Amino acid sequence: MKSARIRSIASVLGSGKISSEEVASLTGSPADFRRERLGIDSIRVATESETPATMGVQAVEKLLQNNPLVSRDSINFLIFVTQNPDYLLPTTACLVQNKAKLPNNILAYDVNLGCSGYVLALAQAKALIASGMAKRGIIVTSDVYNRVIDRTNRNTFGLFGDAAAATLIEECDPEFGLGEFFYGSEGAGSDALIVRRGGSAHPQKNGSREDFLHMDGKAVYKFVITVLPPAINAFLDKQHITMANIDHWFFHQANKHMNGELCRILNIPTEKAFFDILDVGNTVSATIPIALERAQNNRIINGKRIVLCGFGVGLSWGGCSYNLQNETL
């Protein structure tokens, strides 16, 4: 049985940019606090003409340009992760398949999950490949949260950045690539991160505060530091892996304080946990692949085993191990 590996990652950022000073002028949230506490100096924002689909297509084109030996006809599936689809229907993955000129005999579908969506998509990609249903595919993570953020709300504005990332997945020998996975969902906490209107239950009311993202930061923080550490420890114990066996950690890039607390509780050395959102913000489903791409570009990834872990809206979480094969991803 084959496993699956990440061959390459390519990302694109929203064309607009908003500085901490601009956020401070609109919300009163101090710029210094944002840099020091949250690790964010500026965010990238999609322009009016940029959507999850258009940014996703750009990421796919960049990915294929970076891998000239990979033909479009060799792509067997496209998994599109977003919580801000271009339309309620059709599926955004189908729009991207067409615009990126991918074959029409591929499996193309959306995953409606935010900050843990990348890990879930990796699990699905591995399952498709391990089952023999596919040999190569692309995962696109693309969110434009600033479409549903109130620019006067200091709890949400200036935290999230708009971006897309395309990840090329292909088969590999079972002892390498994506390893074991763990997941979890706690729907009882769904009100902590929610856009209350816009779906079938509550249609959108233009101008209503409920059209925008509501975030209970304290509840999300409590969820992360309460649920994640025991889940991660149980995951490692099940595989008979110790913290010392992990060379690098790639958590969802939420904010500096939250990720720092996770590392403190888990006794993960700072140098082993990659964190870099200073100039982009929390890009939701794209944070982990962008972090991997940046770490690769900076020649940070080495060793034998890394762990990826996403957490957030849902509330949900998920993670996996990854075994390197003479590669830096």
Size (the chain), residues: 329
Domain with 56 in it = 3-174
The answer on 204 and 134 residing in a single domain is no
Domain total in the chain: 2
Cis peptide bond N-terminal to 52, omega within 30: no
Mind listing the pLDDT tens digit of every residue in the chain (329 residues)?
Answer: 799 999 999 999 999 999 999 999 988 888 898 899 999 999 999 999 999 999 999 999 999 999 999 999 999 999 999 999 999 999 999 999 999 999 999 999 999 999 999 999 999 999 999 999 999 999 999 999 999 999 999 899 999 999 999 999 999 998 889 999 999 999 999 999 988 887 777 777 766 677 888 999 999 999 999 999 999 999 999 989 999 999 999 999 999 999 999 999 999 998 899 999 999 999 999 999 999 999 987 766 666 899 999 999 999 999 999 998 655 55
The answer on 161 and 70 residing in a single domain is yes
Options 84, 115, 146, 320, the catalytic residue:
115
Which of 120, 140, 174 finishes a domain?
174
| In a domain? residue 129 | yes
| In a domain? residue 298 | yes
The answer on 202 and 159 residing in a single domain is no
The answer on 77 and 159 residing in a single domain is yes
**Rounded Cα distance, 43 and 56, in Å:** 18
* 252 classed as catalytic: yes
**Rounded Cα distance, 182 and 23, in Å:** 37
Options 76, 153, 172, 252, the catalytic residue:
252
DSSP 228-259: HHHHHHHHHHHTT--GGG--EEEE----HHHH
CA gyration radius, the chain: 19
The neighbouring-strand residues paired with 321 are 307
| In a domain? residue 328 | no
The answer on 297 and 269 residing in a single domain is yes
Which of 37-76 are b and which e, b meaning 16 or more Cβ less than 10 Å from the residue's Cβ? ebbbbbbbbbeeebbbbbbbbbbbbbbbeeeeebeeeebb
Calculate the alpha carbon distances from 169 to 4, 70, 130, 138, 245 in Å: 6, 11, 12, 6, 25
* 115 classed as catalytic: yes
DSSP 281-319: -B-GGGHHHHHHHHHHHTT---SSEEEEEEEETTTEEEE
Calculate the alpha carbon distances from 319 to 100, 179, 299 in Å: 29, 10, 23
* 202 classed as catalytic: no
In the chain, the amino acid numbered 248 is H
Options 76, 153, 255, 282, the catalytic residue:
282
Which domain CATH number covers 256?
Answer: 3.40.47.10
Contact 309, 319 (CB under 8 A): yes
Overall pTM > 0.85: yes
Q: Please report where in the chains the tokens 């084959």 appear, as a residue.
A: 2
The answer on 45 and 16 residing in a single domain is yes
**Rounded Cα distance, 52 and 72, in Å:** 21
Q: Could you give the angle at the alpha carbon of 253 between the alpha carbons of 251 and 256, nearest 5°?
A: 105
